[in-house]
Chains A and B, each alone.
Chain A
Amino acid sequence: MTAYLVWRLIQTAVVLLVMSFVIYGLIGLMPGDPVDIMAASIPGMTPEVMANLKAIYGLDQPLMTRYARWLMAALGGDFGYSRTHSLPVLQVLAPALLQTCKLMVASFVLSVILSMALGLISALRPGGWVDSIISLFAFAGISVPVFWLALILILAFAVGLQWLPASGMGRVGDYGFWDQTRHLVLPVLTLTLANTGQFTRYVRAAMIETLQMDFVRTARAKGAAPSRVVFVHALRNAMVPVVTIMALSFGTLFSGALVTETMFAQMGMGKMIYDSILSNDFNLALTGLLFATLVTLIANFAADIAYALLDPRITLQ
């Protein structure tokens, strides 16, 4: 187990190093640098001022030199300064990460609970009317664009019924627990509905396949109660492929909730990374993307451990 952990750590470090190089290079290849973009909107910006600013932001150096400098500083714990937020990168990252955690954890947990229930119900009577309704719901969740779903929820609950706020993370002067929770309801609901459809399909497929296996038949023949057959024998085995999908989705959720965060004005990781890439904020984009990579790697690692727990035949070596 120790050897496995060390191996995974080394793997993680190598992946992060390669990713940092690739991301830095790709952002560097984008046309126009921040000073050029700035110059387009400042009438009095002279070539001398432009050259001075490029030197200050290190943009006058070759890409590889800049990357090497960033890497050395990052290894020492200094991830640099965000040009678009005028703050050190970690100061920008921390609140965005917190907001994303609230959104993601809530929607992920709800999606898992809902999809497990719906997938199970569906799989018990495949082809029945309940299965058809759940499948319809699942397909709708998969195929409806997130921005449209968000807009419909805003129009229904904020504009029409006026039950919930349409956007933001809290009301100025309040920001209490309930206030923040109210602001989270619609974005969490959007993400939950979008994810539940996908997860439900996987749970349903895995359960249908597992329920047809010999060991399930044997359990039934041995007289095990139907609930025991489903929850103890079948569900545990069906979970192995489902856990992989969920683990991968969890990593993506950390950086991929861009649309939901934009629609509900939530300053989370997805929106922060997107904005920083567009505005050539190298340090912030790079650190944000590396963090998202790290979360994906950790989620995969957690999935590996979950396999071992779910299926005793799997050992971590």
Chain B
Amino acid sequence: MSLKKSLAALGAAGLLMAAGPAFAAKDQLTIGVAQFPSTLHPNIDAEVIKSYTLGFVIRQITAFDKNWKNGCLLCTELPSVQNGLAKIIDLPDGKKGMQVTIKLKPDLKWGDGEKVTAKDLEFTWRIARDPKTGFSNTHPWSRAIKVDVVDDSTAVLTLDKVIASYNEWDQVLPAHIEGPVYEKAKEAGDYVKQTTYARSPTTAGLYNGPYLVSGYQSGSQIVLEPNPHWPGTKPGFKRIVIKLIENTAALQANLLSGDVDMVAGEGVGLTIDQVLELRKQHPDRFTYLFKPSLNYEHIDLQIGNPILKDVRVRQALIYAADRKTLTERLFQGMQPVADTWVNPLSTNFTKDTIHYPYDPAKAKALLAEAGWKPGPDGVCRNDKGERLSVEFGTTAGNRLRELQQSVLQNNWKASCIEARIKNEPARTFFGETLKKRAYGGLAMYAWSSAVTESPRRTLGSDNIPTEANGWGGANYIAFSNKRMDELIDKSEAALDPEEQKKLWHDMQQIYASEAPVIPLFFRAEAHVFPKWLKGYEPTGHGDWGSFESENWRSE
């Protein structure tokens, strides 16, 4: 190659590189995430990343705020018995039910300028109850047996029982867009395939939030731009880009290079240890925020294992686990130790339960009481000579969990309990072992729940997975306690907050004393965002901070 040609090639390469990095201007916010939603339809599939994304573009009728208090997003006033928007009624079959009046804000509009009306609410309820639509979560709407549209802004929902969650309502769908699609869908599952949310996700009329989806590249990125018909606070960014970078090391590099401005902390970005490390290396470059969440890390105890049948052994396992040191050493104390499944931020939390501080002496005493004495190899034995040895499983390849496992294994060893590690890929662990309650002894993973959700799914005896119920339910510990079942039933129907607190107090007491599970800690969401981003307030629960994204500003 001649010198001229070489110089020309170098020049072209220089131009290519000097075109400037893809920095976001401050009127654009680029959010890095490690997951991508399979669809933007609110009722099909359930993914954290989808709920997070929808927070920008579709508002629920009601949602919990950063202080974990329920409030109106689309409605004018939160229905309550006190304000008369909710009342207990007698149903024709003689049972008690409820009538809930929802008044939508009159100036709400879809992204195409059409009004959000009570007809949209009725349409959403109607198609959610139709099994042919293939909605994965019908629960929010199946609570209502009838919806009467009073006027454009008012709908009255009739519920077939008295339920505490009567004033918690999800997103509505645009009847003017999804109505014709639904009418056209004949076979079961056709609607799922034909919905505009999948076929044309950039259709403005699908959204009623402060932002609209203006660009959608499946498996790559979602571009959001302000909704011109949004009646609330004007959004602070001309563009928000939600960009998928699955590899977390690459995600960190993108953050440092400025290709992404922030990493969402709602379980869709970096893990807590990665953010802690980033903070150590670049303490002043970003704002770091750790928000304890509803993700409850714990260890299920196999009640079918003869060793774990004895409550004293279960309690000894908790006393022998130094959970405080574990969270301090591994997570710099950012993940608070749990006593039960109820997060201290919840209004239903009680301090008045049995606490299990790290107390190896007490653990040994309890074991001795249960007939377990230290053997020649340091592992306890009972009268029959059986060793106090249990299997300990979790999701293989999850580095943090494997570290936790190692710490706990050592803790227990000091109290003459042998934990034999038996990990499995997440798919096998959740898809087979937990689902069919086939774990041998201990199974470590996390539960996630809604703010006021009763523990029926995880502690109700009607939710024990069995072959007969198609392995449905998530009570993998097969916990069956008559009093707990009664309390669950009552808590789901109690409308008085004080009564709720008492019922939840009793449930937490049973949970702590029966020790069917070893509580570990509440996972903290690890947020990394630029110092110039103001108004960013994560919630820690499933109604994500993106529900207040119109208040995010660059300064």
Tell me whether A and B are bound partners: yes
Report yes or no: A31 in contact with B427, Cβ–Cβ below 8 A: yes
In the bound complex, CA of A151 to CA of B139 (Å)? 44
- Interface-located stretch among B85-93, B333-341, B445-453: B445-453
Q: Are B469 and A52 in touch, CB under 8 angstroms? A: no
The answer to whether A247 has its CB under 8 Å from any CB of chain B is no
B19→A182 contact, CB < 8 A:
yes
- CA A92 to CA B223, docked complex, whole Å: 18
Is the beta-carbon distance between A265 and B243 smaller than 8 angstroms?
A: yes
Closest A-chain residue to B18, C-beta based? Answer: A163
Q: Cβ of B217 < 8 Å from any Cβ of A? A: yes
Known: A83-B38, A165-B259. A267 touches B198 (CB 8 A): no
A33 to B470, alpha carbons, bound, how many Å?
13
Within 8 Å by CB of B139, from A45, A55, A167, A179, lies A45
- Distance of A172 from chain B, by nearest CB (Å): 5
Q: How many angstroms from the CA of A115 to the CA of B45 in the assembled complex?
A: 48
Chain B residues in 8 Å Cβ range of A32: 427-428, 430-432, 435
Counting CB contacts under 8 A, is B1 at the interface? Answer: no
B431 with A37: CB separation less than 8 A: yes
| CA A42 to CA B28, docked complex, whole Å | 33
Q: Mark B413-454, 1 if CB is under 8 A from A, else 0.
A: 000000000000001101110010000000000001110010
Given contacts A162-B21, A265-B250, contact A168 B453 (CB under 8 A): no
B47 at the interface (CB under 8 A from A): yes
Q: CB distance B250 to A154 under 8 Å?
A: yes
Cβ proximity bits B11-39 to A, threshold 8 Å, 1 near / 0 not: 00000111101100000100000000011
Which listed residue (A49, A53, A267, A272) contacts B217, Cβ 8 A?
Answer: A267
Question: B138: CB under 8 A from chain A?
Answer: yes
Point out the residue from A38, A83, A87, A164 that lies within 8 Å of B21, measured CB to CB. A164
Q: Is B140 an interface residue (CB 8 A)?
A: yes
Bound Cα distance A262, B430 (Å): 25
Within 8 A of B (CB), among A31-82: 31-33, 36-47, 49-53, 55-57, 81
- On chain B, the residues within 8 Å of A84 by CB distance are 38
Whether the Cβ atoms of A159 and B138 lie closer than 8 Å is no
Given contacts A32-B431, A56-B192, contact A86 B44 (CB under 8 A): yes
Q: Does B513 touch A at the CB level, under 8 Å? A: no
Residues of B within 8 A of A182 (CB): 16-17, 19
Select B198's contact among A55, A87, A171, beta carbons within 8 Å.
A87
Q: Known: A41-B448, A44-B140. Contact between A265 and B16, CB under 8 A?
A: no
Per-position binary interface string of chain A over residues 263-290, scored 1 when its CB falls under 8 Å from any chain B CB and 0 otherwise: 1110100011001001100000000000
By the criterion CB–CB under 8 Å, are A166 and B259 in contact? yes
Within 8 A of B (CB), among A91-141: 92, 95-96
Q: Which residues of B contact A52 (CB under 8 A)?
A: 131, 134, 188
Task: List, in ascending order, chain A residues with CB within 8 A of B435's CB.
Answer: 32, 36
Q: Return the chain B residue nearest A185 by Cβ.
A: B16
A169 within 8 A of B: yes
Question: Measured between alpha carbons, how far is A84 from B193 in the docked complex, in Å?
Answer: 11
Q: Tell whether, in the assembled complex, residue B220 and residue A44 are in contact, meaning their CB atoms are under 8 Å apart.
A: no
Which of B137, B138, B140, B257 lies in contact with A154, CB distance below 8 A? B257
The verdict on A158 contacting chain B, using a C-beta distance below 8 Å, is yes
A275 to B138 CA separation, bound complex (whole angstroms): 27
Cα–Cα, bound, A278→B432 (Å): 15
Task: Tell whether, in the assembled complex, residue B193 and residue A81 are in contact, meaning their CB atoms are under 8 Å apart.
Answer: yes
> With contacts A166-B250, A167-B259 known, is A272 near B220, CB below 8 A?
no
Quick check: A262 and B16 within 8 Å, CB to CB? no
Tell me if B432 and A263 are in contact (CB < 8 A). Answer: no
**Contact: A262 with B246, CB < 8 Å?**
yes
Q: Is the CB of A155 closer than 8 A to any CB of chain B?
A: yes
Check B219 against A275 for contact (C-beta < 8 Å).
Answer: yes
Q: Given known contacts A32-B431, A86-B39, A87-B198, is B220 in contact with A169 (CB within 8 Å)?
A: yes
The distance in angstroms between the C-alpha atoms of A168 and B480, with both chains bound, is: 51
In the assembled complex, the CB of B85 is this many whole angstroms from the nearest CB of chain A, namely 23
Return chain A residues, CB-CB under 8 Å to B245. 167, 265
Query: How far does the alpha carbon of A95 sit from the alpha carbon of B218 in the complex, in Å?
Result: 10
- B250 to chain A: which residues have CB within 8 Å? 150-151, 154, 166-167, 262-265
Q: Which residues of A contact B188 (CB under 8 A)?
A: 52, 55-56
Q: Mark B131-149, 1 if CB is under 8 A from A, else 0.
A: 1001111111010000000
The CA of A151 and the CA of B252, in the complex, are separated in Å by 10
In the complex, the answer to whether B221 meets A42 with C-beta atoms within 8 Å is no
- Once bound together, how far apart are the Cα atoms of A304 and B76, in whole Å? 73
B368 within 8 A of A: no
Interface flags, B445-468, vs A, CB<8A=1, else 0: 000111001000100000000000
- Of A45, A83, A86, most buried by chain B (CB within 10 Å of CB) is A86
Q: What is the CA–CA distance of A41 and B450 in the complex, to the nearest angstrom?
A: 11
Contacts of B473 in A (CB 8 A): 47
Check if A267 sits within 8 Å of B219, measured CB to CB.
yes
* Complex Cα–Cα for A38 and B253 (A): 31
A5 to B431, CA, bound (A): 46
Closest to A150 in B: B250
Cβ-defined contact, A265 with B220, below 8 A = yes
Neighbouring B residues of A183 by C-beta, 8 Å: 22
| Complex-state Cα separation, A235 to B420, whole angstroms | 60
Does B249 lie at the interface of the complex (its beta carbon under 8 Å from any beta carbon of A)?
yes
A292 to B48, CA, bound (A): 32
A50 to B134, CA, bound (A): 10
Most chain B C-beta atoms within 10 Å of own C-beta, residue among A33, A40, A92, A166:
A166
Name the A residues within 8 Å of B453 (CB-CB).
Answer: 43
Cβ-defined contact, A86 with B41, below 8 A: yes
Residue of B nearest to A30 (CB): B427
Interface residue A315 (Cβ < 8 Å from any Cβ of B): no
A residues less than 8 Å from B450 (CB atoms):
43
Task: Verify B470–A41 contact, CB threshold 8 A.
Answer: no
With contacts A158-B253, A172-B215, A172-B241 taken as known, whether A262 is within 8 angstroms of B247 at the C-beta atoms is yes
Q: Are A159 and B431 in contact (CB under 8 A)?
A: no
- Closest chain-B Cβ to A139's Cβ sits at a distance in Å of 24
Verify if B472 is at the interface (C-beta below 8 Å from A): yes
Among candidates B136, B470, B474, residue contacting A51 with C-beta atoms closer than 8 Å: B470
Any chain A CB within 8 A of the CB of B533? no
Residue interface mask B258-269, A partner, CB < 8 A = 1: 110000000000
Cβ-based interface call for A218 (8 A): no
- Complex Cα distance, B22 from A178, in Å, reads 12
Bound complex: CA A300 to CA B400 (Å): 44
Query: A181 on the interface (CB 8 Å rule)?
Result: yes
A residues less than 8 Å from B254 (CB atoms):
154, 158, 166-167
Least CB distance from A304 to B in Å reads: 34
Q: Is A217 an interface residue (CB 8 A)?
A: no
Asked if B218 and A85 make an inter-chain contact with CB atoms under 8 angstroms apart, the answer reads yes
Q: Would you give 20 A-B contacts (Cβ < 8 Å), ordered by A?
A: A32-B432, A40-B430, A41-B47, A41-B448, A42-B136, A43-B139, A46-B472, A49-B137, A86-B198, A158-B253, A159-B253, A163-B21, A164-B17, A165-B22, A167-B254, A181-B16, A263-B247, A265-B246, A271-B219, A278-B427
Residues of A within 8 A of B (CB): 30-33, 36-47, 49-53, 55-57, 81, 83-87, 92, 95-96, 147, 150-151, 154-155, 158-159, 162-169, 171-173, 178-179, 181-183, 185, 262-265, 267, 271-272, 275, 278-279
Q: A44-B142, A56-B192 are in contact. List 9 more A-B contacts (CB 8 A).
A: A38-B46, A56-B189, A86-B39, A87-B199, A159-B257, A162-B258, A164-B21, A172-B223, A182-B16
